[in-house]
Structure 1
Amino acid sequence: MTSATEESLVLVGQVVKTQGIKGQVKVAASGEGAAAFPVGTIVYLKNNRGMKQSLTVESSRPHRQMTILAFREVQRIEEAEELVGCSVYVAPENLPALPADEFYWYQLCGLQVKTEEGTFLGTLEEIMPTGSNDVFVVRKNHQECLIPATDEVVVQVNLKDKTMVIRPLEGLLPENDL
């Protein structure tokens, strides 16, 4: 992987264990990864030592809270064992298209968040999944604000301008607006 390619890749999961004896692995999907493994997709794996490789998805099927993947290049359990612990990435163009009003997490991180009145709240730096809705972590000057990712709060997302406009619920923001 070149560094330019590597910078544009999207984290979609992590290999957590092997499955069977024919080289399959179980992948715990991240926020982006639920449908990121169609047959023929090239995925990029990176371990904690920085070692990288690209593999081609041969088969993909859901299994409980995970996805079981088989790769064309991996045929034995011994090869699959070397993949355990690796982070799994895909190129953004390999992610399924979303409806116009939905976004992938990687698209939202880095957006400048402001209120409808124009008050700058900070930069969306992290997204926390919760049971009912995701929560955006917005930071400014070492302070953070947690914004619920709901239609009631998020008024507009403009990826071109890298902005998000919110309508804060009463009591959501501190008195000094960060």
Structure 2
Amino acid sequence: MTKEECFYLGNIVGKFSFKGEVLVKLDTDEPETYTEMESVFIEYNENLVPFFIERSSLQKSTLLRVKFEDIDTEDDAEDLVGARLYLPLTLLPNLPEDKFYFHEIIGFDVKDAEHGNIGKIVSVNDSTAQALFEIEKDGKQILIPMNDEFIQKVDKKNKTIQVTTPEGLIDLYLG
């Protein structure tokens, strides 16, 4: 299993007990969806390694308390702190037509109400305060905030997203 075949679920933020339990900060709006998992992939030495789960439960809102098989001591757990967890893309819940996962829209054409086709989405930058579509057109990069007010329609079948951007935004990049 490679990272490209998986989605990021969260990372191990700390130890919970002297019996090898850890706390996982989940990167999801619905943490309860992930309380019944049997296994996860943990990034370890740049590889994804399967770990089987003995038990798990929610601690506070987005923290998952996990006991992995064969992780039985505080030292074993300490070795995993900071590690990133992944699950196969096939386990992502289906979304309604107007919602999308970031990885799904890579390669979609973006059509602006005023400018027409403004390029293809090459990436989503979610490291900023507001996630941005990173669009490429004729070697130029266009950044559009992923704002519900701007997104008019998501057409997964035809791989297009229709947007209405604020006046002058597209001209900043193409002008």
TM-score, structure 1 normalization: 0.75
Q: Does 2:73 match 1:106?
A: no
Of 131, 146, 159, the match for 2:143? 146
**Which residue of structure 1 aligns with residue 6 of structure 2?**
9
- Contact kept, 8 Å, 1:32 with 1:105, in 2: the verdict is no
**Which residue of structure 2 aligns with residue 71 of structure 1?**
68
Displacement of 1:45: 0.8
Of 8, 23, 46, the match for 1:50? 46
Structure 1 residue runs without a partner (length 5+): none
Structure 2 residue runs without a partner (length 5+): none
Q: Which has the larger radius of gyration?
A: 2
d(CA) in 1 for partners of 2:107, 2:142: 15
Of 83, 88, 91, the match for 1:91? 88
The alignment yields a C-alpha RMSD, in angstroms, of 3.0
Letter in 2 for 1:92: L
- Contact kept, 8 Å, 2:35 with 2:58, in 1: the verdict is no
- Contact kept, 8 Å, 1:43 with 1:55, in 2: the verdict is yes
Displacement of 1:103: 1.7
d(CA) in 2 for partners of 1:127, 1:34: 23
d(CA) in 2 for partners of 1:17, 1:44: 17
**Which residue of structure 1 aligns with residue 162 of structure 2?**
165
Displacement of 1:122: 3.5
Runs of 4+ in structure 1 off by over 6 angstroms are none
Aligned residues: 173
**Which residue of structure 2 aligns with residue 120 of structure 1?**
118
d(CA) in 1 for partners of 2:47, 2:134: 31
Secondary structure of 2:168's aligned partner: coil
Letter in 2 for 1:159: K
TM-score, structure 2 normalization: 0.76
Against the structure 1 CA distance between its residues 122 and 7, is the aligned structure 2 distance closer, same or farther, given a 3 Å change threshold?
closer
